[in-house]
Amino acid sequence: QVQLVESGGGVVQPGRSLRLSCAASGFTFSDYALHWVRQAPGKGLEWVAVVWYDGVNKYYTDSVKGRFTISRDNSKNTLYLQMDRLRSEDTAVYFCATGGFAHFDYWGQGSLVSVSS
């Protein structure tokens, strides 16, 4: 069965960096685009970034462009999100999700990132 397991979240000060990981299993990792979606406390879902199956094409929501970098290692079945220059408004649970370029079929359990001084 498909499993996505996020890790790397925690408490970080504004302006600092954090890297999230998402370990995948149960499907052919290199065949699928992968996404990060976040949810601020008590709020709705916000798409953050996507990386194509081959790791070449990447897109970001406007609020994280230039600060976040999505990447993947198909040899390790792992997705990453490097988050630099973090702001308080980046505080959220970050989910990795897959399913291609349409709907998100599978989600991880989420990793909480809290940006606070």
Contact positions vs other proteins (CB under 8 A): 35, 44-47, 50, 59-62, 95, 99, 101-105, 107-110
Q: What is the number of residues in the chain?
A: 117
Question: Which lies closer to other proteins via its Cβ, residue 80 or residue 95?
Answer: 95
Q: Minimum distance between the CB of residue 80 and other proteins, rounded to whole angstroms?
A: 19
Question: Which lies closer to other proteins via its Cβ, residue 66 or residue 117?
Answer: 66
Q: Minimum distance between the CB of residue 62 and other proteins, rounded to whole angstroms?
A: 8
Residue 50 and residue 69: Cα distance in Å, rounded? 10
CA separation, residue 88 to residues 14, 35, 40, 91, 113 (Å): 6, 22, 10, 6, 10
Q: Minimum distance between the CB of residue 97 and other proteins, rounded to whole angstroms?
A: 8
Question: Which lies closer to other proteins via its Cβ, residue 13 or residue 62?
Answer: 62
How would you class 20 by CB atoms within 10 Å of its CB: exposed for 0-12, middle for 13-18, buried for 19 or more?
Answer: buried
